Chain A
Amino acid sequence: MTTINLDFAEELKEYSDDTALECFNCGTCAAICPLVHDNFPRRMIRYIQVGAREKILENSDELWRCLHCGLCTHTCPREADPGEIILGLKRFVVANWRRS
């Protein structure tokens, strides 16, 4: 079962601007991302919105497929800055490893 962590968005503030709540899940970013796999990066942003911290840690390897190419951010209609969100998640995961 996935546990929901309501303070997750707060925790992430340390690693990037909290723009994830701007996202209305239109999927434009996932359509343009050169990775074109499994709804990336939209799915990760959804995980943040619903506080699925563990899901992100479980699937963290996927984050490093992101090329930081910026196409998603460039086309996002809501200025949610998905590219920076993914970078922020990488920082969160790295910090998490180093703590463990």
Chain B
Amino acid sequence: MFNPRDIIETLANNVKQTTSPFGIPKFMVNKWFKDLSLPKEGEYMLITGLMYQFAPFIEKSTQYLEKYEGTKMASLLKYAKYMPGYLSGIGLAMMTSGKEKKDAGQPLKDIALLLQKSKVDFGYRPDLDNYSGILLYDMGDQKGFVVHAKKVAQKLKDAGIKKIITVDPHTAYAIKELFPKYTGISFEVKSYFELLDLESKDLGLEVTIHDPCFFGRYLKLSDIPRKVLGNLGITESEIRNKGEFTSCCGGPAESISPSLSNEIMGKRVEELTICLGNLKKSGADVEDLSTLLVRHI
């Protein structure tokens, strides 16, 4: 296990300096929208919170952490905070292959397409799409989180944004529950699948659903993806621990202890975004809800 203090201070410094926990400049990660011509405004603003975009970098940094966990090298991490965030982040960005980066953008393109097919009136503005700061909150850096969240929320408010579509459970939880509480700024927040209205079909497929902790337990949204899938004739095979009782995929432990995260994930896969990357790593045949839906519309 790594020394949590070193990890937290590194992440906190990165967010402060670069607004990204991994120190990767936004223009290097956020490219998924470039070849789509999405409108800049609409009833809703799409806010990805950059979690999907960070996924390949999280994977890459975890591979490195995994290699060094429990070795003497692990103690060198404390010096990372003396390195400017951008520098370490660009290093990480260069170690991650173009294909990995491109794949990470695919679910976002799929989601945009699903929303368009469902005739949802939404816009996308990369300048307003920022990281929510959720990792700082989870790690207990309350002050760092509040400072960051206030900046992000204020920017959205200044742009006149009232309704937001999110794509991942962590960003949804941050904007819907934490922003009002800690920044005093509230938005109407929908997860993209709540707005889907796809043509019914009878595909006769069966899948297993993993409910992310934040959707299942904190936001109580697990029945909605099931309705969307049901409408396409996709049924769910039984799995232990679902909905409000969903088990953890182990992802959040990654930055502190990759080996612990592997242990938890192994358990989950025997039964069956952060979750996706983590469940894939174990070799299971998993895909994002959006990928599955796009294939069948």
A contacts, CB < 8 Å to B: 15, 34-35, 60-61, 63-65, 67-71, 74, 87, 89-95, 97
Contacts and interface: CB of A to CB of B under 8 A. Distances in A.
B247 interface: yes
Contacts of B244: 74
Interface stretch (B3-11, B102-110, B112-120): B3-11
B253 to A, nearest CB: 6
B8 A65 contact: no
A34 B139 contact: no
A97 B5 contact: yes
A70 B217 contact: yes
Given A34-B247, A65-B257, A94 B141 contact: yes
B260 interface: yes
Contacts of A93: 140
B250 interface: yes
A68 B141 contact: no
Contact of B248 (A71, A90, A91): A71
B97 interface: no
B256 interface: yes
B138 A69 contact: no
B267 interface: yes
A69 B140 contact: no
A87 B141 CA distance: 10
B285 to A, nearest CB: 22
B contacts with A: majority SS: helix
B4 A61 contact: yes
A63 B142 CA distance: 15
Contacts of B213: 67-71
B217 A61 contact: no
Contacts of A95: 142-143
Contact of B4 (A64, A67, A71): A64
A69 B252 contact: yes
Contacts of A89: 140
A65 B139 contact: no
B198 interface: no
A67 B140 contact: no
Nearest to B12: A94
A95 B12 CA distance: 13
B1 interface: yes
Contacts of A61: 1, 3-4
Given A67-B248, A70-B217, A90 B5 contact: no
B264 interface: yes
Contacts of B140: 63, 87, 89-94
A83 to B, nearest CB: 9
Contact of B260 (A15, A65, A70, A74): A65
Contacts of A34: 247-248, 250, 264, 267
B139 A90 contact: yes
B64 interface: no
A65 B142 contact: no
Contacts of B182: none
A2 B139 CA distance: 27
29 contacts: A34-B250, A34-B264, A34-B267, A35-B260, A35-B264, A60-B4, A61-B4, A63-B4, A63-B140, A64-B8, A64-B256, A65-B253, A67-B213, A67-B251, A67-B252, A67-B253, A67-B264, A68-B138, A68-B213, A69-B213, A70-B218, A71-B217, A71-B245, A71-B247, A74-B245, A87-B140, A90-B140, A93-B140, A94-B8
